[in-house]
């Protein structure tokens, strides 16, 4: 029996993601939670003739507890999205509190679940989940994942377009490493399964890198105030969750990029740290999945000079983003200890 849960299930990402998970036959039970509209979304999805039994809860009457109890995989797309002119970091103020509260619920009611964090800014919200789990003595670095799959999906699509074979997008594999915002998104195009044309101009190459790094802005601008990527994110989230579920069921050798605590694989982390020339607590690299979570964090491999420069540029911002998340939680706990009424 596999139970998957979506926290923020009534939102722009939450609804199509829940639909795609309902369509996944590997799921026996699908728990939906949001502060609004979940009962309706759940009843709607429950009429689809696939195996997953769907339940939907709101906060009253222990809704979070009922949703999370028995969960194997919890996906979190709860939180506010960007509007034009905002960075992902601008979302921190609101989303940090939402993610901290939901992580507290997971630590309490489903401490062994795999946690897949979509809420932005991912570079800071993943460290928030880790700190909350540490505080509750249930931290397992192998089970916390920042979902960076949309960057990978975009890289496949944009490379397929550029090589003039849009139909080959599903087969194009480009590792995208680092984190999930702007310059922290580093596509390793030299490792693409489908090489770029050898005569690609420097400008066209730079434009491709920039498009992968700032693909989210393209959507935010086009939606013109109505939010950010939802449908492509739901697809990416369902892809990632699908791989996690396959690993959970015992399939070996699944490798995907994800923003994970490097403590998940100390030996892999040591090699990665050497490549990065910097100590980071979290990083997105190719990770191998197993039934217990992260089995191995892969090294970056051979980088071009340009890629090495992108990695170097990503490190300071990642360091700051990670610290922002960690400090937020530690300061909250410190304040709570001083004033238990908080």
Ligand X SMILES: O=C([O-])CC(=O)C(=O)O
Ligand Y SMILES: NC(=O)C1=CN([C@@H]2O[C@H](COP(=O)(O)OP(=O)(O)OC[C@H]3O[C@@H](n4cnc5c(N)ncnc54)[C@H](O)[C@@H]3O)[C@@H](O)[C@H]2O)C=CC1
Which residues would be at the binding site for ligand X (CB under 6 A)?
Answer: 81-82, 88, 120, 150, 216, 219-220, 228-229
Q: Of 70, 227, 290, 301, which lies in the binding site for ligand Y, with binding defined by CB under 6 A?
A: 227
Residue 147's binding partner among ligand Y, ligand X, none (Cβ under 5 to 8 angstroms by kind) is ligand Y
* 215 lies in the site for ligand Y, by CB under 6 A: no
Q: Six-digit token pair at 190?
A: 């030299």
* 228 lies in the site for ligand Y, by CB under 6 A: yes
Residue 12's binding partner among ligand X, ligand Y, none (Cβ under 5 to 8 angstroms by kind) is ligand Y
Q: Six-digit token pair at 284?
A: 């997105």
Residue 9 in marked binding region = yes
Q: Which residue has the tokens 């609804």?
A: 15
Kind and range of the H or E element at 153?
helix 149-162
Positions in 146-185 near ligand Y (CB under 6 A): 147, 150, 180
Catalytic residue among 47, 66, 136, 180: 180
CB of 101 to ligand Y, least distance (A): 6
Query: Do the beta carbons of residue 21 and residue 27 sit within 8 Å?
Result: yes
Residue 242 in marked binding region = no
Of residues 69, 6, 1, the one with CA closest to residue 34: 6
Q: Which residue has the tokens 């990503």?
A: 314
Residue 77's binding partner among ligand Y, ligand X, none (Cβ under 5 to 8 angstroms by kind) is ligand Y
Q: Is 66 a catalytic residue?
A: no
Residue 82 in marked binding region = yes
Residue 86 in marked binding region = no
Beta bridge partners of 30: 4, 54
- Going by the DSSP 8-state scheme, the letter that residue 263 receives in this structure is G
Q: Which residue has the tokens 């979290």?
A: 282
CB of 302 to ligand X, least distance (A): 27
Question: Are β-strands 282-290 and 293-297 bridged in parallel, bridged antiparallel, or unpaired?
Answer: antiparallel
Show contacts of 48-54: CB within 8 Å, 24+ apart. 48/19, 48/22, 48/23, 50/22, 50/23, 50/24, 50/25, 51/25, 51/27, 52/4, 52/21, 52/22, 52/24, 52/27, 52/28, 53/28, 53/29, 54/18, 54/22, 54/29, 54/30
Choices 4-12, 44-52, 250-258, 315-323 (CB under 6 A): range interacting with ligand Y: 4-12
d(CA 81, CA 97): 14
Nearer to ligand X, 57 or 92 (CB): 92
* 233 lies in the site for ligand Y, by CB under 6 A: yes
Q: Of 106, 122, 130, 220, which lies in the binding site for ligand Y, with binding defined by CB under 6 A?
A: 122
Q: Which residue has the tokens 């304040």?
A: 335
Which residues, in sequence order, are CB contacts of 191 under 8 Å at separation 6+?
174, 175, 301, 302
Q: x/- site string to ligand Y, residues 61 to 100, per CB under 6 A?
A: ----------------xxxxxx--------x---x--x--
Of residues 221, 175, 213, the one with CA closest to residue 194: 175
* 258 lies in the site for ligand Y, by CB under 6 A: no
CB of 25 to ligand X, least distance (A): 28
CA distances from 99 to 63, 215, 295, 322 (A): 16, 24, 25, 14
Residue 11 in marked binding region = yes
Residue 219's binding partner among ligand Y, ligand X, none (Cβ under 5 to 8 angstroms by kind) is ligand X
CB of 166 to ligand X, least distance (A): 20
* 269 lies in the site for ligand Y, by CB under 6 A: no
Nearer to ligand X, 99 or 220 (CB): 220
Name the residues that contact ligand Y, by CB under 6 A.
7-8, 10-14, 33-36, 77-82, 91, 95, 98, 101-102, 118-120, 122, 147, 150, 180, 227-230, 233
Binding residues: 8-14, 34, 82, 88, 95, 118-120, 154, 233
Residues annotated as part of the active site: 180
């Amino acid at each position: 029996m596999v139970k998957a849960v979506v926290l923020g299930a009534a939102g722009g990402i939450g609804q199509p993601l829940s639909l795609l998970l309902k369509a996944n036959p590997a799921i026996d039970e699908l728990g939906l939670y949001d502060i609004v509209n979940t009962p309706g979304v759940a009843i709607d999805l429950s009429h689809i003739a696939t195996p997953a039994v769907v339940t939907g809860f709101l906060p009253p009457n222990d809704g979070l507890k009922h949703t999370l109890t028995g969960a194997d995989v919890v996906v979190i797309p709860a939180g506010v999205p960007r509007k034009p002119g905002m960075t992902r970091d601008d979302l921190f103020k609101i989303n940090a509190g939402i993610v901290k509260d939901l992580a507290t619920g997971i630590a309490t009611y489903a401490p062994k679940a795999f946690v897949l964090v979509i809420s932005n800014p991912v570079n800071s919200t993943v460290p928030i989940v880790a700190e909350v789990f540490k505080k509750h003595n249930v931290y397992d670095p192998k089970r916390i994942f920042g979902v960076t799959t949309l960057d990978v999906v975009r890289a496949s699509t944009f490379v397929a377009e550029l090589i003039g074979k849009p139909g080959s997008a599903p087969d194009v594999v480009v590792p995208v490493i680092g984190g999930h915002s702007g310059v922290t998104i580093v596509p390793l195009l030299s490792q693409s399964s489908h090489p770029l044309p050898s005569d690609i101009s420097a400008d066209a190459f730079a434009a491709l890198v920039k498009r992968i790094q700032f693909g989210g802005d393209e959507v935010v601008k086009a939606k013109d105030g109505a939010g950010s990527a939802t449908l492509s994110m739901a697809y990416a989230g369902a892809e990632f969750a699908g791989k996690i579920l396959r690993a959970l069921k015992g399939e070996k050798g699944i490798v995907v990029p994800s923003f994970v605590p490097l403590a998940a694989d100390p030996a892999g982390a040591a090699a990665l740290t050497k490549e990065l020339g910097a100590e980071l607590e979290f990083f997105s690299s190719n990770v191998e999945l197993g039934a217990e979570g992260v089995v191995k964090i892969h090294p970056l491999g051979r980088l071009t000079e340009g890629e090495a420069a992108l990695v170097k540029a990503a490190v300071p911002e990642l360091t700051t983003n990670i610290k922002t998340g960690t400090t937020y939680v530690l300061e909250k706990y410190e304040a709570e200890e001083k004033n238990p009424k908080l």
